[in-house]
């Protein structure tokens, strides 16, 4: 069985688990509106059960979720933009903050008003 995302106007509206022949049969509507996605793909990398890269084939950069965008030119799924200042990395199709997350062992939250990370207390 595989996972398939239904795409309407570039947006994922449904994700199902089905065999390819069921999708092709039209049981779920127009087969052309369904795109395969991989539960094990994140940031363009195929992950094993332990969450580590396992050398498998990554499909469409990320697993499709409800409300995600399917970009046919990139042949990729990506999540809704979390903040207007964040930028989509075209290689991973993950959103990145315009300022790197501090690497000092503390926890931070993004503050869109100041376009910076604020320490979480």
pLDDT digits (tens, 9 = 90+) for 17-65: 999 999 999 999 999 999 999 999 999 999 999 999 999 999 999 999 9
Q: Are residues 43 and 57 in the same domain?
A: yes
* Burial per residue of 75-94, b for 16 or more beta-carbon CB atoms within 10 angstroms, e otherwise: ebbbbeeeeeebebeeebbe
pLDDT band (50, 70, 90) for residue 121:
confident
pLDDT score at 107: 97
Q: What does the chain come to in residues?
A: 121
Residue 89 · residue 29 · CB < 8 Å: no
pLDDT of res. 118: 98
Please check whether residues 65 and 105 belong to one and the same domain. Answer: no
Verify that 85 and 72 share a domain, yes or no: no
- Asked if residue 72 and residue 23 are part of one domain, the reply reads yes
Q: What is the pTM of this model?
A: 0.92
Q: 74-119: per-residue pLDDT in tens?
A: 999 999 999 999 999 999 999 999 999 999 999 999 999 999 999 9
Question: Are 74 and 90 part of one and the same domain?
Answer: no
Counting the structural domains of the chain, the total is 2
Q: Looking at the structure, do residues 56 and 87 belong to the same domain, yes or no? A: no
Do 10 and 30 lie in one domain? The reply is yes
Element (H, E) at 21: helix 20-25
Radius of gyration of the chain (CA): 17
In terms of domains, do 101 and 112 share one? yes
Cα–Cα dist 90/76, whole Å: 9
pLDDT at 43: 98
What is the model's pLDDT at position 80?
A: 98
- Do 87 and 60 belong together in one domain? no
Residue range(s) defining the domain that contains residue 11: 1-80
Q: Are residues 37 and 10 in the same domain?
A: yes
Q: Same structural domain for residues 85 and 69?
A: no
Q: Which residues contact 89 (CB under 8 A, 6 or more apart)?
A: 95, 96
């Amino acid at each position: 069985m595989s996972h398939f995302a239904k795409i309407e106007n570039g947006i994922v509206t449904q994700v199902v688990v089905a065999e390819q022949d069921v999708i092709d049969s039209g049981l779920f509507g127009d087969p052309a509106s369904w795109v395969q996605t991989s539960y094990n793909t994140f940031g363009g990398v195929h992950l094993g059960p332990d969450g580590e890269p396992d050398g498998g084939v990554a499909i469409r950069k990320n697993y499709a979720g409800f409300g995600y965008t399917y970009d046919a030119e990139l042949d990729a799924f990506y999540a809704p933009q979390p903040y207007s200042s964040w930028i989509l990395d075209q290689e991973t199709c993950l959103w990145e903050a315009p300022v790197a997350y501090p690497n000092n062992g503390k926890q931070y939250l993004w503050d869109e008003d100041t376009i910076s990370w604020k320490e979480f207390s």
